[in-house]
Amino acid sequence: MTMSDVTRILAAIEQGDARAADELLPLVYEELRRLAAAKMSQEPPGQTLQATALVHEAYIRLVGSQDQDWSGRTHFFAAASEAMRRILIDNARRKQRLKRGGGQQKVSLTDAEPAIEGPSDDMIALDEALARLAEIDKTKADLVKLRYFAGLTLEQAAAVLNLPERTAKRYWAHARAWLYRQVTDGR
């Protein structure tokens, strides 16, 4: 896969070429699958959402959305990572609602052991802290999203955000410390 092939197809999708979306998936599938597998490895055991389903859902959201305005391959994968993040957060919130009762009648199971762990409260806490960081400093929040959810290196994320690497390193250190305090203070 070359960057020019992906960029050309993304431009065709933006211009409304329905067949271009069919060309894009085979070119980006393996990289999206790798991204999804990395995200899923950070989830707690017993996750019902599989990496393949995450890739397909994210792809449908990206290609099916009306506001497609990708400036190239890197921007597309950053958008894919953001879509995966939102899917995982929605899934964690849905499970949390179910865990808290979800309108179901309680039944006592005195001798039963839970088969799986509950949803990741950490993922929801991180998402909420990230939203607060975005209100304070959008660039630092974007840097975290690109590193954590898109799997970009610090150098790649700095390039996407047009930041000098030294500035990106400072922002990364500050954002990590700030998010850690926000997530651990909430426990």
pLDDT at 113: 42
Structure-token match 């959402």, residue found: 49
Tell me how far the alpha carbon of residue 137 is from its chain's centroid: 19
CA dihedral (142, 148, 149, 155) in degrees, to 10, reads 70
Q: What is the mean pLDDT of residues 137-146?
A: 90
pLDDT over threshold 80, residue 104: no
pLDDT over threshold 80, residue 50: no
Looking at the chain, the domain(s) classified CATH 1.10.1740 span 1-101
Looking at the chain, the domain(s) classified CATH 1.10.10.10 span 120-187
pLDDT at 117: 45
pLDDT at 114: 41
CA distances to 44, 46, 48, 73 from 116, rounded to whole Å, are 9, 5, 10, 37
pLDDT at 90: 83
pLDDT over threshold 50, residue 110: no
The whole-chain average pLDDT of the chain stands at: 75
Of 7 and 131, the one with more pLDDT: 131
Tell me how far the alpha carbon of residue 89 is from its chain's centroid: 8
Q: What is the dotted CATH code of the domain comprising 120-187? A: 1.10.10.10
pLDDT band (50, 70, 90) for residue 122: confident
pLDDT over threshold 80, residue 102: no
Q: What is the dotted CATH code of the domain comprising 1-101? A: 1.10.1740
The whole-angstrom separation of Cα 52 and Cα 21 is: 18
- The DSSP secondary-structure symbol of 1 reads -
Of 171 and 63, the one with more pLDDT: 171
pLDDT at 116: 38
